[in-house]
Amino acid sequence: MRTGVPSYRENLYTPANSTDPYPHYRRMRELGPVVWLPKHRVYAITRYAECKAVLLDARTFISGDGVGLNPVVNRLGRDTTLSSDGEDHARRRKLVAPRMTPRALATMQQQIEQMAASVVDAAVARVDVDGVTDLARALPLGVVPDLVGWPTDQREHLLRWAGATFDSLGPMNATALRTMSSSIGMMRFARKIARTGNVLPGSLGEDALRAAADGVISDKEGVALMIDYLAPSLDTTISGIASALHLLATHPDQWDALRADPSLIPNAANEALRLEAPIRAFTRRAVSDVEVGGTTIPRRARVLVLYASANRDELVWENPDQFDIHRDASAQLAFGRGSHSCAGQGLARLETETLLATLVEKVTRIEPAGRPEWARNNLIRCHRTLPLRLHAA
Ligand code: HEM
């Protein structure tokens, strides 16, 4: 106990606990809405109502001191949209907003539909596929690097670099240390892009570099934004799509229901994100003593907002561990909430829903075809392999 707050002594970031975190989250929710984690020296926010309240109170729970779980990444993350507050945050967010309006997304829809059709046709022809490499990665990798304007060389490193960036946001454990050189590699390359101006024309990256040249943002911010746009947009969406495929393959009744009524697709995507939140948690720093769920969190303390636990809070969701595409899952917290809620969620939804709509049209049954494996990552919950068999319509 730490001054009346229940403690939970487990290390949530061991390989075994990262692979199966949900029993730990359940025990923590049973202990209370706020639980001290001595291993990580943070107050974990375990339940839905309190997670949402913390995310909505960005004045008390700031992001400007970093949203990771170790001081190194929290220092390196300065200048990003994710790790900023107030005016700085609003200025950076304004740069990405025009690219994510419904009208801007509508201009990408046709290209994404065509991409989905050729990806699904190729997968159906192969019959036995890997849900991650053959399906889930195709649209995010086909769309995001061009949108961000990342030069066409060095793209083969993007997934490794982006995964490493998420590893670095956890505790400074062996996983983070092992992937450190990759996250630094991404930063170095982003700096080089900013220096040489080597971005694709008409891209988000070009917007950021122009804003830096015009003095709207600093040069350092320009570099940070290149990473800011890319790092959170690949593994997250890939995770969401792969989880949806896995859940639909292992719940044939739900797949049949989706085929019978494709208008359920947006909700099915939300339900998959509820059950398997791609990002487990981010942190905030409390700037004053503050009460959360009856517990006083002291000034300067770090809190861990567990989106993945909130999404299975039995006070909010009936049978929370059950996959049910008919329940209204729109309130799930996988995209966060409040001023920092995911800036790219419209694109993530478009990619996921388009792929599911194409599958529903072209595939009668998705069957598990082997044991799936989870990737090792401190923050992202994503399959490494997902063997599936597709039955053509
Ligand atoms: C299923 C896919 C995705 C998930 C689950 C996800 C999740 C999240 C979450 C939880 C946050 C909030 C961070 C916080 O509370 O501090 C966030 C922020 C952000 N996301 Fe996403 N994301 C996804 C896809 C994307 C995509 C496709 C893009 C870009 C095209 C993107 C760009 C961003 C950016 C720029 C932020 C920072 C927003 C801010 O701090 O104001 N994300 N995302």
Q: What is the DSSP string of 199-259?
A: --TTSHHHHHHHHHHTTSS-HHHHHHHHHHHHGGGSHHHHHHHHHHHHHHHH-HHHHHHHH
Tens of pLDDT, residue by residue, the chain (393 residues)? 467 899 999 999 999 999 999 999 999 999 999 999 999 999 999 999 999 999 999 999 999 999 999 999 999 888 899 999 999 999 999 988 888 999 999 999 999 999 999 999 999 999 999 999 999 999 999 999 999 898 888 888 889 998 999 999 999 999 999 888 888 888 888 888 888 888 999 898 899 889 989 998 888 888 888 888 888 899 999 999 999 999 999 999 999 999 999 999 999 999 999 999 999 999 999 999 999 999 999 999 999 999 999 999 999 999 999 999 999 999 999 999 999 999 999 999 999 999 999 999 999 999 999 999 999 999 999 999 999 999 999
Distances (CA, A) of 318 to 257, 315, 324, 327, 329: 20, 8, 10, 9, 11
| Superfamily of 15-392 according to CATH | Cytochrome P450 (1.10.630.10)
Structure-block tokens of residue 120: 């699904």
Ligand 1 pocket: which of 65, 88, 92, 236 to mutate (most atoms <8 Å of CB)? Answer: 236
> Are 34 and 5 spatial neighbours (Cβ–Cβ below 8 Å)?
yes
For residue 308, the CA-to-ligand 1 centroid distance in Å is 15
Mutate to test the pocket of ligand 1, among 345, 352, 377, 380 (most ligand atoms within 8 A of CB): 345
Q: Judge whether 89 and 303 are in contact, CB under 8 Å.
A: no
- What is the 367 CA–ligand 1 centroid distance (Å)? 30
285 within ligand 1 shell (Cβ under 6 A) = no
Cβ of residue 80 lying under 6 Å from some atom of ligand 1: no
Distance 322 CA to ligand 1 centre (A): 25
Which residues, other chains included, contact 187 with Cβ-Cβ below 8 Å and sequence gap of 6+? 76, 223, 227
Q: Could you tell which of 51, 87, 283, 342 is best to mutate to test the pocket of ligand 1, judged by most ligand atoms within 8 Å of the CB?
A: 342
